[in-house]
Structure 1
Amino acid sequence: MITYLICPVLHVLGPVLIWFGAVMLIPYGVSLYKADGADFVFAQSAAATISIGLLLTIAFWKFKREMTAQHGFLVVTLSWTSIAAAATLPIMLYLPQYGFIQAFFETMSCLTTTGASMMNDLEGLPLSINGWRCLLAWIGGMGLIVFSVAILPLLGVGGAQIMKAEMSGPLKETRLTPRVAETARALYMIYFGLSVASAIAYHLAGMEWEDAIMHMMTTVSLSGISPHDASFGYFNSQAVNLVAVIFMAICGCNFAMHFVVWRRRNPFLYLRDPETLGWFGVLAALTTVMTLYFLRTGVETTTWEAILSAAFVVFSTASTTGYTNPDLAYAMMPPALTLILMASAAFATCAGSTGGGIRMVRVIILLKEVSREFRHLLMPNAVLPLKVGGYVVSRNIFAGVCVYLIVWMLSIAAGSLSLMISGFEPIDAFSTAYACITNLGLALGSLESAGNFASLSNIQLGICTFLMLLGRLELFTVLILFTRTFWRH
């Protein structure tokens, strides 16, 4: 059974590592052009990664076969961990003060679009190293496996199971196109288009092209990584904040919905999608509350400034992006307002977006079921199917949503307990576990004051790394590997 599961997966990982090694040539070229002194680390890392990929491809070529569901889960999890591990090579070679656990935390944070960092003095890093962090986030935004399926038809294996394991949300069977590779390409066409538009918009708003491209990659991926220690506070620009707000709102929507609207040339389709309406409804409600607070307390003096500042804080948190601004820190806000903002990161973004959390569609399904139960109490004999957006939600999907939420809460509890055992205070442990599993990257308490995760021990970084992977791959993809049934089936 082990051979049946592992060998075909290693065959698939070979081309993925070859592709990823080729990606390392992008920062290598940037480093050569800028002469920032990091070109040798990317050359060595690319050579090592490509060599390992070729070795796996050749050694396990005879195990090429169609993927089953078990293979899909294993490919997804091992791909994310192996790519994150390979991505540590440039960091460890150029910055030897960071060990593997620290570098692995950093690269996993980038790939999972969590945006938490353990690095200090980001402005002192070479452009190619900062660009590498941002590029990892951009790749991870839509999903490394989806990207691989889209550009690597040479894999020659069925991608349907891989896509099903990686895509977010409870309604994973929905396809935009008949073939899985075409679906992946369709999603990345939208993703790439938004990326180009974002980079141009940032440049027109006042950023240099280097900053515009790096922040484009971390905005459309909703990762919140910045090459500046002060994040968006470095720019102190309303125009830059406005661009960030617009693209965070767009990328918090379901990319499949963007594709359908683009293909049908009908933007009114957004108004028929309950999840999109819920996403923008949450943003509007929280922005209104935050605007009133800023005006009442005098944080901002004009209505426009209050609206823009409120939108930046709300959109950044609710979308799980995690951009920060020292002038708009959570410590300046009432605890109740901070908790409401943090809670929005758990559910606001849409399934199929680049955000994290449990997804808006799951919350809608639960609220619809609550409403259905109330009506059923008043009309016991009525047939009241559970519908979302005109589609009937089966009891299997509803049961899956309930189980997911239970496991999600248990995972936060287990992560918090593990961090407390390692030495965290309770509030720090909970907010850190929550920030990692929602892929928000912003924690409260001592980590908020510190501004990054540099103070964590290797054990604590390991726990946070696992929680980030768990949240990004929606729990079951990772947890199923720890069951006896998976290895015996």
Structure 2
Amino acid sequence: MIDIRPVAHTIGRISVALGAMMLFPAVIDYNAGDPNWIRMAQSSVLVVVLSWLVVAATASSRGNLTIEQSFLLTSGLWLVLPLIGAVPLMLGAPGLNFTDAFFESMSGLTTTGTTVIPKLDDLPPGTNMWRAILQWSGGLGIVVVAMVFLPVMKVGGMQFFRSEGFDTLGKVLPRAGQIAAEMTWIYLGITVICALLYVVTGMSAYDAVLHALTTCSTGGFSNYDASFGAFIGPAEWVATLFMILASLPFVRMLQAIRGDLAPIWRDSQVRTYIRWLAYAIGVIIIYRLAYMHDVSNPWDILRETVFNVITVFSGTGFASTNVLQWGHLPFAVLFCAALIGGCTGSTGCSVKIFRYQVLFQAIRAQIRRMQSPHRLYPLRLAGKRLEKDVVDSVMTFFTMFVLSFGLLIVGLALTGLHPKTALTAAWTAIANVGPVWGPEITSNGSIQRFPDAAKWLMSFGMYLGRLELISVLVLLLPRFWRG
């Protein structure tokens, strides 16, 4: 049997930190004169005390984690933390029921950005800030998991990145702490710079901090029903820049800060990501200029297209306009872009550029083998040989992703949702994108009218998608629990 005490100890310590973060929005509500600060503070005390009891009870079990315990930790974190994040949403404003509060919290921590709240403008400022903090915390956690745990667990081909100086086998916790500290400073730094630039573009300090948290986490929560439509103009360009930065590998940013800028551009993921972004933007702009009747201001079309393509491609999910009005081809491009996502080791969502690169290399090699069956075609990426276990792991990931996506569509349709709604809800959940379209959606994009069964299915889809599917599904095997 697996000893879960070291796992519980680690989750307990992280839970204490998350509970303490509730004091920040409590202070915001207190300064605003909103009585919701009392509920926020009570939630903080409740979470910190209960979490600290777990930490104290398992203090003697601290130590290095095995591979099985690493699987359990990564999967357990994204179940326990959404429960904790839901507490102030239930005890205080907006007073959600358990299903809605858990969904909102899961959407935040997985940086998906879909909401069940129909009137964001009416929420206390502390509650909206708490939603942003959940996304920012989730974005940081995602980067650490991608760099520390997934390579060790060989999930989805991530073992390819163990040579990046983050080989943690046999020393997961000590190395994880070091990496987390380095990534936190980078993450915090770009968030502060983003917030300052938002202020320069005319945002209030509160709006700037909140949107910086949700931009750099590629989360997309806003405190306005109009989302980023409340900040048309220069702020969109700031958001565009930082959504791209947050979608790049954080290890490259670390190298750049240490004085070596070359690896950023030499990284094939980065070059491919920028190139595919340019393709998507170019196709949509050409289509809109060709088929839209009013092209009196092409600059607005450029700004609007660049912002909304990047927000979907990166998985942020902000919206500054109704993209459905652009036509069928632009919508198809956006739909496909969200299923690609950002770079590995970033806060970006979905499948990731790296896996598509491996997929295309494998397809190319297979076609060449059909032409010359007796020749050997070794697979290489970024100058490194792709080992068979990496290719097999990536192919397994693609298979599970497509299968999970299809089953999620069917499941959501069976709850009574319109087919279009079921499709886009499954898409946004499994790819952690944010927007949903369909007749059941409210004016601000909320899924409040969804049946509870659909909300739980989407919560599971967000959970699966964010944890790279296999790290969750492996827990369903009886052999795993036998150690």
Q: TM-score, normalised by structure 2?
A: 0.92
> In structure 2, how many angstroms separate the alpha carbons of the residues matched to 1:128 and 1:96?
11
Aligned residue in 2 for 1:93: 91
Aligned residue in 2 for 1:219: 215
Aligned residue in 1 for 2:45: 47
Aligned residue in 2 for 1:154: none
The answer to whether residue 470 in structure 2 is matched with residue 480 in structure 1 is no
Q: Write out per-residue CA displacement over residues 13-63 of structure 1, whole angstroms, 9 at most, x where no aligned residue.
A: 222222222111211222222222221112111111111112112222333
Aligned residue in 1 for 2:258: 263
After alignment, is 273-282 or 328-337 more displaced?
Answer: 328-337
SS at match of 2:115: coil
SS at match of 1:115: coil
Q: Write out per-residue CA displacement over residues 359-404 of structure 1, whole angstroms, 9 at most, x where no aligned residue.
A: 0110011111222233334444443211111011101100000000
SS at match of 2:4: helix
SS at match of 2:344: coil
> In structure 1, how many angstroms separate the alpha carbons of the residues matched to 2:270 and 2:133?
27
Aligned residue in 1 for 2:431: 438
Q: Is the 8 A contact 1:118 1:454 kept in 2?
A: yes
Aligned residue in 1 for 2:227: 231
Aligned letter for 2:206?
E
Q: Is the 8 A contact 1:442 1:448 kept in 2?
A: no
Q: Give the alignment partner of residue 463 of structure 2, picking from 447, 465, 469.
A: 469
> In structure 2, how many angstroms separate the alpha carbons of the residues matched to 1:72 and 1:95?
35
Q: Is the 8 A contact 2:216 2:242 kept in 1?
A: yes
Q: Is the 8 A contact 1:115 1:225 kept in 2?
A: yes
The alpha-carbon deviation at position 210 of structure 1 amounts to 0.7
> In structure 2, how many angstroms separate the alpha carbons of the residues matched to 1:335 and 1:14?
48
Change (3 A) 1:348 1:403: same
Q: Is the 8 A contact 1:18 1:50 kept in 2?
A: yes
Q: Give the alignment partner of residue 388 of structure 1, picking from 381, 388, 391.
A: 381
Aligned residue in 2 for 1:156: none
Q: Give the alignment partner of residue 367 of structure 1, picking from 360, 365, 376.
A: 360
Q: Is the 8 A contact 1:295 1:301 kept in 2?
A: no
Aligned residue in 1 for 2:289: 295
Change (3 A) 1:136 1:164: farther
Aligned residue in 2 for 1:273: 267
> In structure 2, how many angstroms separate the alpha carbons of the residues matched to 1:304 and 1:167?
43
SS at match of 2:3: helix
The alpha-carbon deviation at position 300 of structure 1 amounts to 4.7
After alignment, is 97-106 or 300-309 more displaced?
Answer: 300-309
Q: Is the 8 A contact 2:157 2:389 kept in 1?
A: no
Change (3 A) 1:65 1:255: closer
Aligned residue in 1 for 2:247: 252
Q: Is the 8 A contact 2:418 2:438 kept in 1?
A: no
Q: Flag structure 1 segments of 5+ consecutive residues without an equivalent.
A: 150-158
SS at match of 2:258: helix
The alpha-carbon deviation at position 161 of structure 1 amounts to 4.6
- Taking every aligned residue pair, what percent have the same amino acid on both sides? 28
Aligned residue in 1 for 2:119: 121
> In structure 2, how many angstroms separate the alpha carbons of the residues matched to 1:164 and 1:469?
20
The answer to whether residue 149 in structure 2 is matched with residue 183 in structure 1 is no
Aligned letter for 1:368?
Q
After alignment, is 422-431 or 374-383 more displaced?
Answer: 374-383
> In structure 1, how many angstroms separate the alpha carbons of the residues matched to 2:199 and 2:364?
47
Aligned letter for 1:411?
S
> In structure 2, how many angstroms separate the alpha carbons of the residues matched to 1:168 and 1:100?
32
Q: Flag structure 2 segments of 5+ consecutive residues without an equivalent.
A: 168-174
Q: Give the alignment partner of residue 162 of structure 2, picking from 155, 166, 173.
A: 173
> In structure 1, how many angstroms separate the alpha carbons of the residues matched to 2:142 and 2:37?
24
The alpha-carbon deviation at position 309 of structure 1 amounts to 1.2
Give the aligned length: 473
The answer to whether residue 311 in structure 2 is matched with residue 316 in structure 1 is yes
The answer to whether residue 322 in structure 2 is matched with residue 329 in structure 1 is yes
Aligned residue in 2 for 1:413: 406
Aligned residue in 2 for 1:355: 348
Q: Give the alignment partner of residue 132 of structure 2, picking from 134, 138, 148.
A: 134
> In structure 2, how many angstroms separate the alpha carbons of the residues matched to 1:458 and 1:448?
14
Aligned letter for 1:384?
Y
Change (3 A) 1:433 1:177: closer
Q: Is the 8 A contact 2:342 2:350 kept in 1?
A: yes
The alpha-carbon deviation at position 201 of structure 1 amounts to 1.0
The alpha-carbon deviation at position 96 of structure 1 amounts to 6.2
The answer to whether residue 6 in structure 2 is matched with residue 29 in structure 1 is no
Q: Is the 8 A contact 1:112 1:468 kept in 2?
A: yes
> In structure 2, how many angstroms separate the alpha carbons of the residues matched to 1:401 and 1:162?
13
Q: Is the 8 A contact 1:112 1:140 kept in 2?
A: yes
Change (3 A) 1:204 1:300: farther
Q: TM-score, normalised by structure 1?
A: 0.91
> In structure 2, how many angstroms separate the alpha carbons of the residues matched to 1:488 and 1:177?
29
Q: Is the 8 A contact 1:168 1:352 kept in 2?
A: no
